[in-house]
Structure 1
Amino acid sequence: MAKINKRRKRIFNMLKSHPQGLNGEAISQQLGVSSRTIRSDIKALQDALGQYNIRIFSSPTKGYRFSQFEHLSSIEHELFKDNMSNLETSKQRINYILYKLLANTLNDISITQNDLAEEMYISLSTLKIHLNEVKNILKKYDLRVTQYKTKGIKISGEETKLRYCIVDIKNIHLENEFFQDLIMNIDTDLLDDIIKKVLSERKLQLTDRSQKKLCMYIAIAMQRSRNNKTVVYPSSLTNKIENTFEYNVAKEIIENIYNQLNVDLSCSEVYYITQCLLASKKLIDVSESINKKRVKNLVNIILKEIHEKLSIDFTNDEYLIDGLTLHLNIALTRIQFQMNIRNELLETIKNDYPLAFQMGVIAGKIVEQYDNIKINENEIGYIALHFGAALSRNGIKENIQAKNIIIVCSSGLGISVLLKAKVEEYFHNRLNVVKVLPGYEVNEKTLENIDYILSTVPLKNIASDKIIKINRMLQKEDVENIENKIFHKKDTDLMEITTFFN
Structure 2
Amino acid sequence: MKSLDLSLRQKRILHIMQHNDTYITSAALAAKLNVSSRTIRNDVVKINEELAPYNARILSLKSRGYGFESEDPKLIESLNQIETAFFSKENRARYLAFKLCFAEEPQNLYDLEDEMYISHTTLDHALRDIASQFSDHTPYIRLIRQKETVRFEDDEMKKRLVLVEMLRKSWNYHARRNAYYDDNFIEPKVLDFIIDLVSSNLNKYNILLEDPSIVFLNLMIAVMYYRIRDGHILPYEPPIPKADTSVYYACQDILNTLTDHLHCYIHPEELDRLYLFITANRLLDQTTLTRETAKDYFGPNTRLIAEHFLTMIQNYFRLDFSDDDDFYITLLQYIRTLQRRSDIYNEQYTSDFVKNDLRIELIIAHLFQPLALQYLGKTLTETQLIYLAYCLCGTLENFVHNHPGDKLNTVICCQMNMPFLFAMKRRLESDFGNYLNITALLPVNIKNSFDFTDTDLILTTVQKPITRNPATDTLYMSINMTEDDLARLEHLILQRTIRKIYTASPSPHDLFINAFRHEKTGHGDPYSIFRDMAADFINAGFVTSDFLNDIIRHEENSTYAICPGVAYIYSLIPAEKSAMSILTLDHRITWNTHKIRVFIMTCFTLEDMPITFRLANLFYDEAYDLPKIKMEENPDVLTRYYLSFIDEPLTP
Please tell me whether the aligned partners of residues 393 and 425 of structure 1 are also in contact (alpha carbons under 8 angstroms): no
Cα separation, partners in 2 of 1:327 and 1:146, compared to 1, 3 Å: closer
- Correspondence 1:159 to 2:156: yes
Name the SS for the 1:154 alignment partner: strand
One-letter amino acid of the structure 1 residue matched with residue 191 of structure 2: T
Please tell me whether the aligned partners of residues 186 and 219 of structure 1 are also in contact (alpha carbons under 8 angstroms): no
Normalized per residue, the structure richer in helix is 1
In structure 1, C-alpha distance between the alignment counterparts of 2:84 and 2:358, rounded to whole Å = 45
One-letter amino acid of the structure 2 residue matched with residue 96 of structure 1: Y
Name the SS for the 1:327 alignment partner: helix
Name the SS for the 1:180 alignment partner: coil
> What is the match of residue 204 of structure 1?
207
- Correspondence 1:170 to 2:167: yes
One-letter amino acid of the structure 2 residue matched with residue 324 of structure 1: L
Instruction: Name whichever of 154-163 and 383-392 sits farther off.
Output: 154-163
- Partner residue of 2:298 out of 278, 288, 292: 292
The Cα offsets for residues 424-452 of structure 1, whole Å up to 9 and x where unpaired, read as: 994879xxxxxxxxxxxxxxxxxxxxxxx
Normalized per residue, the structure richer in strand is 2
> What's the offset of the Cα at 1:343?
4.1
> What is the match of residue 192 of structure 1?
195
Count of residue correspondences? 314
> What's the offset of the Cα at 1:313?
0.6
Please tell me whether the aligned partners of residues 135 and 143 of structure 2 are also in contact (alpha carbons under 8 angstroms): no
In structure 1, C-alpha distance between the alignment counterparts of 2:354 and 2:207, rounded to whole Å = 27
Please tell me whether the aligned partners of residues 159 and 231 of structure 1 are also in contact (alpha carbons under 8 angstroms): yes
One-letter amino acid of the structure 1 residue matched with residue 269 of structure 2: S
- Partner residue of 1:139 out of 123, 135, 140: 135
Please tell me whether the aligned partners of residues 98 and 134 of structure 1 are also in contact (alpha carbons under 8 angstroms): yes
In structure 1, C-alpha distance between the alignment counterparts of 2:369 and 2:339, rounded to whole Å = 11
Cα separation, partners in 2 of 1:365 and 1:242, compared to 1, 3 Å: farther
- Correspondence 1:261 to 2:262: yes
> What's the offset of the Cα at 1:216?
1.0
Please tell me whether the aligned partners of residues 392 and 425 of structure 1 are also in contact (alpha carbons under 8 angstroms): no
> What is the match of residue 302 of structure 1?
309
> What is the match of residue 229 of structure 1?
232
In structure 1, C-alpha distance between the alignment counterparts of 2:363 and 2:305, rounded to whole Å = 18
> What is the match of residue 329 of structure 2?
322
* Structure 2: segments with no counterpart, 5+ residues: 1-82, 171-177, 403-428, 435-482, 488-652
In structure 2, C-alpha distance between the alignment counterparts of 1:204 and 1:167, rounded to whole Å = 22
- Correspondence 1:110 to 2:106: yes
> What is the match of residue 365 of structure 2?
360
Instruction: Name whichever of 226-235 and 203-212 sits farther off.
Output: 226-235
- Correspondence 1:250 to 2:257: no
Please tell me whether the aligned partners of residues 349 and 357 of structure 1 are also in contact (alpha carbons under 8 angstroms): no
- Correspondence 1:97 to 2:103: no
Name the SS for the 1:219 alignment partner: helix
Cα separation, partners in 2 of 1:302 and 1:136, compared to 1, 3 Å: closer
> What's the offset of the Cα at 1:319?
1.6
> What is the match of residue 55 of structure 1?
none
Cα separation, partners in 2 of 1:182 and 1:312, compared to 1, 3 Å: same
In structure 2, C-alpha distance between the alignment counterparts of 1:155 and 1:289, rounded to whole Å = 44
Please tell me whether the aligned partners of residues 258 and 264 of structure 1 are also in contact (alpha carbons under 8 angstroms): yes
In structure 2, C-alpha distance between the alignment counterparts of 1:133 and 1:367, rounded to whole Å = 26
Cα separation, partners in 2 of 1:167 and 1:226, compared to 1, 3 Å: same
Cα separation, partners in 2 of 1:243 and 1:361, compared to 1, 3 Å: farther
In structure 2, C-alpha distance between the alignment counterparts of 1:326 and 1:126, rounded to whole Å = 42
> What's the offset of the Cα at 1:381?
2.3
> What's the offset of the Cα at 1:188?
0.7
> What is the match of residue 276 of structure 1?
277
Cα separation, partners in 2 of 1:374 and 1:159, compared to 1, 3 Å: farther
Please tell me whether the aligned partners of residues 213 and 281 of structure 2 are also in contact (alpha carbons under 8 angstroms): yes
In structure 2, C-alpha distance between the alignment counterparts of 1:90 and 1:355, rounded to whole Å = 32
> What is the match of residue 332 of structure 1?
339
> What is the match of residue 412 of structure 1?
none
In structure 2, C-alpha distance between the alignment counterparts of 1:290 and 1:147, rounded to whole Å = 50
One-letter amino acid of the structure 1 residue matched with residue 232 of structure 2: K
Name the SS for the 1:153 alignment partner: strand
RMSD across aligned positions (CA)? 4.2
> What's the offset of the Cα at 1:311?
0.9
> What's the offset of the Cα at 1:217?
1.4
> What is the match of residue 391 of structure 1?
396
After superposition, where does 1:417-496 map in structure 2 within 5 Å? 426=431
In structure 2, C-alpha distance between the alignment counterparts of 1:372 and 1:357, rounded to whole Å = 21
In structure 1, C-alpha distance between the alignment counterparts of 2:326 and 2:306, rounded to whole Å = 12
Instruction: Name whichever of 184-193 and 133-142 sits farther off.
Output: 133-142
> What is the match of residue 27 of structure 1?
none
Cα separation, partners in 2 of 1:378 and 1:238, compared to 1, 3 Å: farther
In structure 2, C-alpha distance between the alignment counterparts of 1:347 and 1:393, rounded to whole Å = 25
The Cα offsets for residues 337-370 of structure 1, whole Å up to 9 and x where unpaired, read as: 6x66564445444322223223323234334424
> What is the match of residue 595 of structure 2?
none
In structure 2, C-alpha distance between the alignment counterparts of 1:263 and 1:85, rounded to whole Å = 30
> What's the offset of the Cα at 1:120?
3.8
> What is the match of residue 73 of structure 2?
none
> What's the offset of the Cα at 1:124?
5.8
Please tell me whether the aligned partners of residues 343 and 379 of structure 1 are also in contact (alpha carbons under 8 angstroms): no
Please tell me whether the aligned partners of residues 94 and 134 of structure 1 are also in contact (alpha carbons under 8 angstroms): yes
Please tell me whether the aligned partners of residues 251 and 271 of structure 2 are also in contact (alpha carbons under 8 angstroms): yes
The Cα offsets for residues 160-199 of structure 1, whole Å up to 9 and x where unpaired, read as: 332222122223363566x613335871111110111012
In structure 1, C-alpha distance between the alignment counterparts of 2:372 and 2:93, rounded to whole Å = 38
> What is the match of residue 12 of structure 1?
none
Cα separation, partners in 2 of 1:89 and 1:201, compared to 1, 3 Å: closer
One-letter amino acid of the structure 1 residue matched with residue 157 of structure 2: T
- Correspondence 1:216 to 2:219: yes
Name the SS for the 2:321 alignment partner: coil
In structure 2, C-alpha distance between the alignment counterparts of 1:154 and 1:386, rounded to whole Å = 40
Cα separation, partners in 2 of 1:321 and 1:100, compared to 1, 3 Å: same
> What is the match of residue 63 of structure 1?
none
In structure 2, C-alpha distance between the alignment counterparts of 1:159 and 1:206, rounded to whole Å = 25
Name the SS for the 1:98 alignment partner: helix
In structure 1, C-alpha distance between the alignment counterparts of 2:203 and 2:84, rounded to whole Å = 45
Please tell me whether the aligned partners of residues 306 and 312 of structure 1 are also in contact (alpha carbons under 8 angstroms): yes
In structure 2, C-alpha distance between the alignment counterparts of 1:216 and 1:322, rounded to whole Å = 30
> What is the match of residue 238 of structure 1?
240
In structure 1, C-alpha distance between the alignment counterparts of 2:299 and 2:169, rounded to whole Å = 38
> What's the offset of the Cα at 1:315?
1.3
* Structure 1: segments with no counterpart, 5+ residues: 1-83, 398-423, 430-475, 481-502
One-letter amino acid of the structure 1 residue matched with residue 222 of structure 2: A
In structure 2, C-alpha distance between the alignment counterparts of 1:180 and 1:281, rounded to whole Å = 28
> What's the offset of the Cα at 1:252?
3.4
Instruction: Name whichever of 376-385 and 280-289 sits farther off.
Output: 280-289
Please tell me whether the aligned partners of residues 141 and 159 of structure 2 are also in contact (alpha carbons under 8 angstroms): yes
The Cα offsets for residues 464-487 of structure 1, whole Å up to 9 and x where unpaired, read as: xxxxxxxxxxxx89x99xxxxxxx
Cα separation, partners in 2 of 1:131 and 1:300, compared to 1, 3 Å: closer
> What is the match of residue 547 of structure 2?
none
In structure 2, C-alpha distance between the alignment counterparts of 1:290 and 1:162, rounded to whole Å = 37
After superposition, where does 1:40-55 map in structure 2 within 5 Å? none
